[in-house]
Each structure stands twice: as C-alpha cells, then as structure tokens.
Structure 1
Amino acid sequence: MFKKGFDNEKYLTMQSEHIKERIAQFGNKLYLEFGGKLFDDFHASRVLPGFEPDSKLQMLLQLKDQAEIVIAISAEDIENNKVRGDYGITYDMDVLRLIDEFQSVGLFVGSVCLTKFAEQPSANLFIKRLDSMNIKSYKHYKIPGYPSDVEFIVSDEGYGKNEYIETERPLVVVTAPGPGSGKMAVCLSQLYHEHKRGVDAGYAKYETFPIWNIPLKHPVNLAYEAATADLNDVNMIDPFHLEARGEAVVNYNRDCEIFPVVNAMFELIFGKSPYKSPTEMGVNMAGNCIIDDEACREASKQEIIRRYYKCLCEKRRNGTTKDDICKLELLMKQAEITVEDRKVTIVALEREKNENGNPAMAIELRDGTIVSGGTSELLGAASSALINALKVLAGIDKEVKLIDPKAIDPIQDLKINYLGSKNPRLHTDEVLTALSATAANNEIAMKAMKKLPLLKGCDAHSTVLLSSVDEQIFKKLGIQLTCEPKYEEDERMYHKN
C-alpha cells in the first residue's frame, strides 16, 4: 500500500535556500558538484515515497537565474564509446541529450569540459560537433600523480595547465553523464584558477544518498548500498566529522577516503580549508523532509529486495552479474528482511503452485489490493495479470471480456502466419494494442484503458523471467517488477521473446 513518507515541496524550498546560503558563504561564487541523476531519479522516488523523480531539476529551476551548467565528460569515455546502461546510449550522445533537456526547461548550459584529454581522435571530433552547435568546450588534462601528489596538482604544472572555464553566474553546477567523468577535478581546477584571479569561489557537493542525518543502518541508507553494489560503496560514520564536531553522521567510504587529499588541496589554494569533514562539503537536505519514517523504511526494504531479484535474474540470463550477490544478501540480513517480505512474491508463487506449475504473476495496487494472473491459451501470465488489475481499478466484473476477439485474431494471425512466432499467447504490448482497438467502440474497455496511469508505482512479481517486450511495457507503465530467476522452460539456454 502506498504511503507518502517525504514532503517534496518542503524539500524544494529548503534545498534551494540552503544552496543560496552556501553561495553567499563563498563570496557569491560556488561550484556545485552534482552527483546522481538530475533527471528521472527513480531510485530516490522509490525509497522516499513522495519524492518526485525530477525533484533535483525542479529545485534547480528555482535557482535558474543564478545558475549555469557545466557538463564534464571524460575524453577516455568518448574514445572507448562508454554506454549508459539505463538509456543504452554513449556518454557523448548523453551529453547532447542533457544539453537538450536543460535548455528545454530554461536552464543555461555554459559549456562542456572534456577531462583526461589527450588528443583522442573521437574527443576531437566531439569538440568539432560541439563547435558546430555553438556550445563552448574546454580541455582538462590528465595530471601525473593524481590525486596523491597534491603539491604538483595544485600548481601551474598541474591544475594550471587546464583551460580556465569562463563562467557568468554565481552558481556553477557541474554535472556529468555518469561516474568517473571528473566532476570534482573540474570544480577544484576552477577554484585554483579563480583564486589566481582574485575570486574567492567555493565548492560544495550535492548528492542525495547516503542521507547524512539518519542512522547508518537505516533502510534508506542500506538501499543506497544495494543500488551501488557494483561499485562496492560502503556507508560509514564520517570519522572527520565525529572528531571535529563530536557528531555521528553518515557518509560513504570514497568521500571519506579522498577527504584528506581534497582538504590538502583546499589548504594549498586558500591557505586553509573551509571544511572540517566530507559531510560538511555536502548540501543535501533530504533527511529533513522525511515526514513518515516508517513509510520510507518499508519502501526502502522493498527496494533492497527488488535489487536482489534483479541481481539474481541478471546472473541467470548472462551467467554473471556486475553486482555482488553476497553483499545484497548481507544487506537483506541487516535490514531484517527476506524475499517473503515482498507480498506479491508470495501470491504469485502460490498461484503458480495452484496452477500445476504454470507461470503466474501478481500485482499489488496502490491501495494494497493484490491481483494475480495465470497462463492461458490466449494470454501469458503478465498479460492476464495486467488485464485483471485494470478490471479491479475500473470496478469491472472479472467475468467480463474486455477485449473483442475481433481485435485479437488479426494480432495472432500476424504473429503466427507472418512473423514466424510459435507462441500464440499475447504479450503485454499486444494486449494493450488489442484493448485500445476494442476501446474505440466499447465504453467498458475505454473505462479500463483510462486506469492505466494508476498502475504507476505498483509492485509486481512474475514466477518466470519475462521477455524484454513485457519488461519494457511494465517499465513504461511505472510498475516495479521482479521475477524469479528461472525460465518458463528451465532448460532454455537463451531468452526468447
């Protein structure tokens, strides 16, 4: 059942005001390293129910008259055609996507900075492409001994060799298409150049997770570890903050490990560091906007289970997984949960058992009602569960046939006789197509169609791995899907759609 646990409006106001305060602290020039996703932050919306996926963007829009965007991208990632897993596009193409997204909402993109630049051919081509679009670009170079040789880095031979990025506004948001792009290095290089020009600019870091002012083992913070199981990030009590302020706050290992180096750089640039701990560098206000702690705890526990299932399914499909299964199992123990704490899992498995082992699916609606679907000659379990959920949402009797057979027959004919499929059962995309065709002349079907938006945020579990087509439909509907790590035919060696 959906329960709101996070006050999004309070967050937008509090976060923007806090960033304004930090700008003022540094003489009206702040370089803000922006971690995580600016758009479509669905992880945050899942573990903090009430947090909107575009909250960071909306917060920035409150500062748009003061802010400009600098996008950092590693020239090595361009040369290696590094791909974003969520969008399936290369990092350089994602930079162009980000520029379009920012400009479409009125945010000013000042420039693109190519880090680790070494005259890579692909990087030079990308610079030419940016030039043709009237987007300014700058080059930052690999520095020998980075990040440990602080004396050399903070010198004319280190940061001093980087091109100075011309900026116009008090708040410079440095973002990137993904991790390892060099956001922090861009910020610190700019501080060095600004200081040489007599500008007392500052630096701060904005990341939503881990949340510094909730307990270390709070499920929200454990869910962050689950989300970064491939990076092996570990939440920890910030030892520098504990020593300096006598307060136990949460940070993560990489920020704590790099802080002595960053602190030394600050001292070389400014004479003394403005911060006593990595936590003090942050500006995240999310922890102050949790209004129902229990709702956020439960949502985060469900997210950990979903991450665990995702890892198991990835291993079943590919024979390997980038995530650490053992770590996810440990996180589940720390959160005191098992897969049986996912209600839809229990219902789906029970239905499969009652139907002689045939695949089944269960969907939990936002009011807590759980609807299931089995396998028939006409529909797969996912399609069946989807139709049954729409019937419940629309108040339609379960015996009513929502889809006109005249809408189904042509689809089956196309699949079997023209596209060479051996499976006459309809996938979810085909069922929705048939439903929409029926809805053109059927008020009951139209009533069901109009309930599709209410599936957003619902949980679902399948007792078998679904085809990529079905997975994409559930993703587009906003349904939070998990699957058992097995195929409908367990001996199958590849996943047939």
Structure 2
Amino acid sequence: MKIGFDNDKYLKMQSEHIRERIEKFGNKLYLEFGGKLFDDYHASRVLPGFQPDSKLQMLLQLKDQAEVVIVISAEDIEENKVRGDYGITYDLDVLRLIDEFQSVGLFVGSVCLTKFAGQPSAELFQQRLKELGIKSYRHYKIPGYPSDVNHIVSDEGYGKNDYIETERPLVVITAPGPGSGKMATCLSQLYHEHKKGIEAGYAKFETFPIWNIPLKHPVNLAYEAATADLNDVNMIDPFHLEAYGKTTVNYNRDIEIFPVVNAMFELIAGESPYKSPTDMGVNMAGNCIVDDEVCCEASQQEILRRYYKCLCDKKRNGETKDDIYKLELLMQQAGVTIDDRKVAKVAKEIEEKTGSPAVAIELEDGTMITGKTSDLLGSSAAALLNAVKKLGKIEDDVKLVSPQAIEPIQTLKTQYLGSQNPRLHTDEILIALSSTAANSEVAKVAMKQLHKLKGCQAHSTVLLTSVDEQTFKRLGIQLTCEPKYEEDGRKYHKH
C-alpha cells in the first residue's frame, strides 16, 4: 500500500533519542513502555509503513544496554483479568511475554507484582515464578495514592516496596495491559535508587498521541477512537505551553497526574528534571511521517472501522464497551461519514442488486472486487477468489476450484459435522484452493497472490462468523461489517 511513514528512519532516530536520555541521567534510565511491544497493528494501520514490530526492533538496537521488568497488578491476577486480543489471563500473558522477549535475545530481569495485598492467587503466581527460576518482587498498595505525595514518597510509602535489583543502564518497564502500575514502579525505583545514592531517571515511551502533530490530526483522533472505552482524551499540554510557549499534544491522564509526578520528583531528588508531561516522553514517530495525506486517509478509515466494530459489538452482545457517541463525534472532527467507506458503498450496491449478502474488497490500486452469495460459496469466500483472480490476471470464467473439489467438503460439513450451512467459509475455500494448486498451475498462480491482499480494505453487508473474520485478519485485510445477521428470521445469533 502507499507508504506514509519511514520505518528505517524511525528505528534509527528513536534508539538514538533513548540513548541520549540514558546519558542525561547518569547512565540509568527507567523507561515506562506503553502500548504493545509486539504486534502493534493499530500503529501500522494509521501510519502505513510502520511495521507491527517496530518498537521491538528499536529495542533490539539497544539490547546490550537493556533489561526488561514486567509489571502485573496482583488485583488483576486475583480477578483473572483476560487480554481481549489473545484471550488469556494477564498472569499467563506475563509468561508468554517472557518467552517472546527471550526468544529475540532481550534480557528479562524480573517480574514485579504491584498493588500486592496478600491476594492468594498472586502468592501462587509468585510461587510459580520461583519454580520457573524467575525473580519477582512485591510492591504494595499505598494509602492516599496518588494524591498524598508526602506519604507516598516516604519510608512508609515507596520505602515499603521491594527494591528491584537491576543490572543494565536501560530498564524497560512493560506490562500485559493498562492500569498495571508501570509509572508507580518506575517512581518507586527512583526513590530507592536515590536513597542508595545512585543517580537514575525516568522517561515514558508511548507512540500515541503523537505530541508534535496537531491535536485534531486524524492520526491523533484515531488514537482516541482506539481508546473509546478508556475515556482517554487528547489535550494541549498546558505545562509545556507555559514553560516553552510551544503547543504540543498529550492525553488527559498524563496531564492530570503531572503535578503529582512533579512533586514526587522534587521530594525524591530535590528538583524535577521535567517541566511538562511532553518532556517526559521520548517518542519520535511524528518526525518520521513522510506523507501526511496517506496517514490522514489511513487514520480516517481506522476511525470508521472502529465505529463499525462498535455497532457490530452492540448487535452481537447487546452492549459495547466503546462509547458510540464519542466515536460519532470523532468522525465529525475527522470530517468523515460512513459514505467515506467506499468498500461499504460498493458492497451494499451488490446486495441490493442480488438480494443476498455481498462482500467488497478494495485492492491496492483502488480496483473494487466483489463477491456474492451462491449455493457453493459464501460472499466472503467468493470475494477472496475473485480478488486473487484479478491479481493473478486470471480470466473471470476460469474455475479456480472445481465444484467437484467443493462438494466433498460440503458433504463433510452437512452430513458428518452437523452444519446446516453447506456454503464454504473463507478458510475452507483457501484449503480447497491449496489442494487444487497441487495439480493446477492456475490455482498455484492464484495462491501466490494472497500476500498482496495485506492492507486492503473490505466490507461485508452482514456479520461474518468468527472463522471468516479471523481469515481476513490473518491475511492482513482491514474488514468492516454491517451490524445485521444474514437471515432476518435469526435476530439473536448466527452460526
């Protein structure tokens, strides 16, 4: 797809900037790492050219200087909190993250359990870490946090926390999800380091909002859309404006907590190294946007996708964690309506003509490919086949998968696996295509086109099954659906 972001420049610039910050604090920096280190697909969607593992690649450039400390809230362990994207609990995700970090050569120093108050499941988890040979520490709930600064920055506050033993100049503090206590862990460490006479600093690394582009830039609005369930609001940083006379963008939680953090710095070290929340950040992403128009268009589409997802969640579950009115306001601010989702318009036109569900896929060059429902194929499977035909310059009337190859799968589904729907899903048609490719050159050519669908836009006029949605996701296709089921008679649930 069109590139709007220079990833190589970003990797170089970001790692250099963090090195500078380490040196500024006498060669010991606690870096609070926000967002996803692996698989940051939001960033890659709104900044085309940003690689999903860019933050990890950047960290690998510093791997000899860096160690990772993973933070998890004991309350989240006790409540069995689950990560929405992976469907696993936060404590299991800590173990997954350790494996992921170590597999790429990053050193994981320890795990810190925050908000510890003797929760039985947190104690069991700590025992499990011990058996696995992983060092762990406890940080406790501090009464009056975060407002009673004098109590927090004392031997009765941070002083009661375990001191996390670290051995490298850059300590990356990361967590399975938000609200884990990353910032408190960093500040607790600064308190202990200062008591030991060791100079150390704190910085924050988050990609969004991007501080040096306008407040209402679509990229920043798309971040608000992505966090519509958290009530995060992008704001002009008033502290930065007052200190430097420059307009920068931050978000409400960091701006609200800054006076407290500033007071803590002053109590810990006698003075604060920062005049604003923007000062605390080290993000260089805004300097690596090379085509603003491309990033604006991608971000507008992201806002529309978030809106459609919200509508679909509400249809499926009767509720949604996102604020639908906030998303509508963000669409207004970004200057987009659902009519700006071109694939949606095309898919709905096909549905009107045929009277049955349809899917449209927009290829990289803007060509619209459609798929309609037939006896053999669902509309999403048909659209995928038509897309690879077009990309492989294969004639329309050529059958990529013969009906003879499809029929046995239909028989298996309906007669042996209890399915009422004989039409093939996307994963099934791709398996049929791959088996046909063993004896068919045309099918082999079609298979080789699949990678070109990454980054393409798609829309379905009905809610798709989780299987179809996952197939689109794995192919890297950015999908939206109309919030309705295929059969009008089935209002509540669709297989």
TM range (shorter): over 0.9
- Contact 1:242–1:248 under 8 Å retained in 2: yes
Structure 2 partner of 1:15: 14
> 1:86 maps to what in 2?
85
Q: 1:398 aligns to what SS in structure 2?
A: coil
Where does residue 282 of structure 2 map in the other structure? 283
Q: Is the 8 A contact 1:266 1:272 kept in 2?
A: yes
Whole-angstrom CA distance in 1 between matches of 2:215 and 2:488: 40
Q: Secondary structure at the match of 1:247?
A: coil
Deviation, 1:491, is 3.8
Question: For residues 464-488 of structure 1, what are the alpha-carbon distances to aligned partners after superposition, in whole Å with 9 as ceiling and x for unaligned?
Answer: 0001111111111111100001111
Q: How many angstroms does 1:495 deviate by?
A: 2.9
RMSD over equivalenced CA pairs, Å = 0.7
Distance, in Å, in 2 between the alignment partners of 1:107 and 1:378 is 49
Alignment partners' CA distance in 1, 2:236 and 2:421: 54
Displacement of 1:342 after TM fit?
1.2
Does residue 48 of structure 2 align to residue 49 of structure 1? yes
Q: Which runs of 5+ in 1 are unaligned?
A: none
Q: Deviations over 1:213-248 (max 9, x none)?
A: 000000000000000000011101000000111001
The equivalent residue for 2:262 is 263
Partner deviation per Cα, 1:80-109 (whole Å, 9 max, x = no partner): 100000000000010001000000000000
- What is the TM-score of this pair, normalised by structure 1? 0.99
The aligned runs of 1:18-167 (5 Å cut-off) are: 18-167=17-166
Unpaired segments ≥5 residues, structure 2? none
* Structure 2 letter corresponding to 1:376: S
| Range with bigger deviation, 159-168 or 400-409 | 400-409
Contact 2:485 2:494 in 1 (8 A): no
- Paired residues for 1:5-404 under 5 Å: 5-356=4-355, 358-404=356-402
Deviation for aligned residue 1:496 = 2.5
Residues in 1 aligned to 2:65 and 2:404: alpha-carbon distance in whole angstroms: 58
For residues 377-419 of structure 1, give each alpha carbon's deviation from its aligned partner in whole angstroms, at most 9, with x where no partner exists.
1111101001000101111011100002332121111111111
How far apart are residue 454 of structure 1 and its match?
Answer: 1.0
What is the CA distance between 1:282 and its match in structure 2?
Answer: 0.2
CA distance in 2, matches of 1:375, 1:218: 39
CA contact (8 A) 1:467 1:495 kept: no
Aligned length: 495
Cα deviation for residue 368 of structure 1 reads: 1.4
Say if 1:44 and 1:53, in contact at 8 Å, map to a contact too.
yes
Corresponding residue for 2:418?
420
Distance 1:209 1:277 in 2: 16
| Percent of residue pairs identical | 79
Aligned amino acid, residue 427 of structure 1: H
> What residue number does 1:408 align with?
406
Matched position secondary structure for 2:203: strand
Question: For the Cα contact (< 8 Å) 2:310–2:320, is it kept in 1?
Answer: yes
Shift of 1:365: 1.1
In the TM superposition, what are the counterparts of 1:444-483 in structure 2 within 5 Å? 444-483=442-481
TM-score when normalising by structure 2: 0.99
Contact 1:33 1:204 survives alignment (8 Å): yes
- What CA deviation, in whole Å up to 9, does each residue of 1:279-310 have, x standing for no partner? 00000000000000011000000000000000
Deviation digits for residues 162-193 of structure 1 (CA, Å, limit 9, x no counterpart) = 00000000000000000010000000000000
